[in-house]
Amino acid sequence: MGNYFNTLSLRDKLTQLSKCRFMDSSEFEDGVNALKGKKIVIVGCGAQGLNQGLNMRDSGLDISYALRAEAIAEKRKSYVNASENGFNVGTYEELIPTADLVLNLTPDKQHTSVVKAVMPLMKKGATLSYSHGFNIVEEGTQVREDLTVIMVAPKCPGTEVREEYKRGFGVPTLIAVHEENDPEGKGWAQAKAYAAATGGDRAGVLASSFIAEVKSDLMGEQTILCGLLQTGSILCFDKMIEKGIDAGYASKLIQYGWETVTEGLKYGGITNMMDRLSNPAKIKAFELSEELKDIMRPLFQKHMDDIMEGRFSSGMMADWANDDKDLLGWRAATAETAFEKTPAGNVEISEQEYYDNGVLMVAMVRAGVELAFEAMTDSGIIDASAYYESLHETPLIANTIARRKLYEMNSVISDTAEYGCYLFDHACKPLLADFMKKIDTDVIGKAYAKDNGKAVDNAKLIAVNKALREHPVEKVGSFLRASMKAMKPIV
């Protein structure tokens, strides 16, 4: 055991990182057939476990849950989740030997011990699946030679995996087969059927590699998806309070603002999100985001480098070995922030007002999406993968903040994402301190430039529009969004 990625030659690393093929819908014509009648046992019934299982059962597959004996005896949440939804639940010993496919949907921290417990019980020729490849790529777990190892990784929180499926759609999904474990050559057929069963095929599936998934997933979650939304929430809220904006209003503007402005992103990328602002506000948001990009670029690059070189994973694993001291301390500190503790006021904010009074939030989203995308593609990750891990998933994470603020986001995402989110947040807040000193309520809390009567500089506006539209994230985004025609609005 050791960092598998770090054992590869540079050439092999680049080959794996660049594995990413957007699959044609015709490749899913066989639907779930490759798994029809197979016994599928999910280990863990948490964020992904429960929601993937519900979708797969609704798609006609045979799903049961193997839980730790203590979880069953103590009727823990996982047991309640599974049994109240009518699933068959049993211990590892009861269910794993019957399984054709075992889905390991426990937290990444537990994968080594779970795989160690489950593997000897698996029948010859069965398949082991992951929804995130950390255990294989960063810990170098080696799996029994007769077992097939696949990955089906939804690019979104478990709650949204279910919500999108219920809307008749799905979420973009990355699938992979571990090249060292495909003894019967059935990995791709099973991964495709699994993605179809969760609804992923309706939103877009990338045929990728364990390595590309891990490195892009870690980068997205640490920076734009969770880290920057947390930093932005705290800084924007504190600024509004400092400047005398009503606390209930400020709380509501942030809590629901990310969801509202990123809904514009979801439908038409950064271009559409920025187009929702007035022309003077758009120019201002552009200038702010350019400044933010310059300040935060080194931090985004540091996260990418630490992920690529294994420093992030070794740091997090040291915290695992230290009983999650950092994770738990950071979690508790987040709960004490003024934003978390201030309930949203009972005040009406129209959809347009979230944009007009949230120019800084729009600027942060643009800066974060573009920086994350640039850092990933600069490192050999393919644009489609980088798009899913930056622009595409931001609205889905924003939905979780709208539900119950940062608490909800950090509960719904994996522990790995939560750890990386805090790591980024703690580095980013001090980095933005000087920038935030110059910020006033004209860009957060009140409408920008409604009454200043200044003429718009047409040449500047044209240059801003060109820069926004020509960013590579917009190019790949318009192609990928065209394959998601069935999307339904949330707000």
Ligand X SMILES: NC(=O)C1=CN([C@@H]2O[C@H](COP(=O)(O)OP(=O)(O)OC[C@H]3O[C@@H](n4cnc5c(N)ncnc54)[C@H](OP(=O)(O)O)[C@@H]3O)[C@@H](O)[C@H]2O)C=CC1
* Smallest separation (angstroms) from ligand LWWEY6Y5 to the CB of 62: 26
Does 138 help bind ligand LWWEY6Y5 (rule: CB under 6 A)? Answer: no
State residue 102 phi and psi, 5-degree precision: -110, 120
* Rounded Cα gap, residues 462 and 465, in angstroms: 5
In eight-state DSSP terms, residue 357 is: T
Of the candidate residues 36, 38, 57, 76, the single one contacting ligand X (CB under 6 A): 76
Of the candidate residues 138, 163, 217, 356, the single one contacting ligand LWWEY6Y5 (CB under 6 A): 217
Q: Does residue 471 have an active-site annotation?
A: no
Work out what residue 225 binds among ligand X, ligand LWWEY6Y5, Mg ion, none; the CB cut-off runs from 5 to 8 Å by kind. ligand LWWEY6Y5
Binding mask 142-171 for ligand LWWEY6Y5 (x = CB under 6 A): -------------xxx--------------
Q: Which is nearer to ligand X, 295 or 490 (CB)?
A: 490
Q: Which is nearer to ligand LWWEY6Y5, 181 or 414 (CB)?
A: 414
- 337: tokens are 């922030």
* Smallest separation (angstroms) from ligand LWWEY6Y5 to the CB of 23: 19
* Rounded Cα gap, residues 244 and 145, in angstroms: 64
Work out what residue 442 binds among ligand LWWEY6Y5, Mg ion, ligand X, none; the CB cut-off runs from 5 to 8 Å by kind. none
Does 442 help bind Mg ion (rule: CB under 5 A)? Answer: no
Of the candidate spans 135-143, 292-300, 410-418, 457-465, the one that interacts with ligand LWWEY6Y5 by CB under 6 A turns out to be 410-418
Q: Is 37 exposed, middle or buried (0-12, 13-18, 19+ CB in 10 A)?
A: exposed
* Smallest separation (angstroms) from ligand X to the CB of 241: 31
Long-range pairs for 6-10: beta carbons < 8 A, 24 or more residues apart? 6/309, 6/310, 7/140
Does 417 help bind Mg ion (rule: CB under 5 A)? Answer: yes
Q: Is the separation of the CB atoms in 296 and 371 below 8 Å?
A: yes
Q: Which of 459, 489, 303, 322 is nearest to 379 (CA)?
A: 303
Of the candidate spans 12-20, 408-416, 455-463, 465-473, the one that interacts with ligand X by CB under 6 A turns out to be 408-416
Q: Is the separation of the CB atoms in 448 and 440 below 8 Å?
A: no
Catalytic residue (choose from 111, 132, 178, 392): 132
Q: Is the separation of the CB atoms in 356 and 277 below 8 Å?
A: yes
Of the candidate residues 25, 113, 350, 352, the single one contacting ligand X (CB under 6 A): 113
Of the candidate residues 416, 421, 428, 480, the single one contacting ligand X (CB under 6 A): 416
Of the candidate spans 82-90, 118-126, 262-270, 414-422, the one that interacts with ligand LWWEY6Y5 by CB under 6 A turns out to be 414-422
DSSP 259-306: HHHHHHHHHHHHHHHHHTS-HHHHHHHHHHHHHHHHHHHHHHHHHHHH
* Rounded Cα gap, residues 245 and 75, in angstroms: 46
Which residues does the annotation place in the binding site for NADP(+)? 45-48, 68, 76, 78, 108-110, 158
* Smallest separation (angstroms) from ligand X to the CB of 141: 12
Work out what residue 202 binds among ligand LWWEY6Y5, ligand X, Mg ion, none; the CB cut-off runs from 5 to 8 Å by kind. none
From the CA atom positions of the chain, what is the Rg in Å?
22
Binding mask 40-59 for ligand X (x = CB under 6 A): ----xxxxxx----------
Does 217 help bind Mg ion (rule: CB under 5 A)? Answer: yes
Tell me the site size for ligand LWWEY6Y5, rule CB under 6 A. 13
Distances (CA, A) of 37 to 26, 40, 122: 23, 9, 18
* Rounded Cα gap, residues 343 and 331, in angstroms: 19
Which residue is associated with the tokens 């979230």?
354
* Rounded Cα gap, residues 33 and 189, in angstroms: 9
* Rounded Cα gap, residues 230 and 264, in angstroms: 20
Does 50 help bind ligand LWWEY6Y5 (rule: CB under 6 A)? Answer: no
Q: Is the separation of the CB atoms in 147 and 181 below 8 Å?
A: yes
Q: Name the site residues for ligand LWWEY6Y5 (rule: CB under 6 A).
A: 155-157, 217, 221, 225-226, 393, 397, 413-414, 416-417
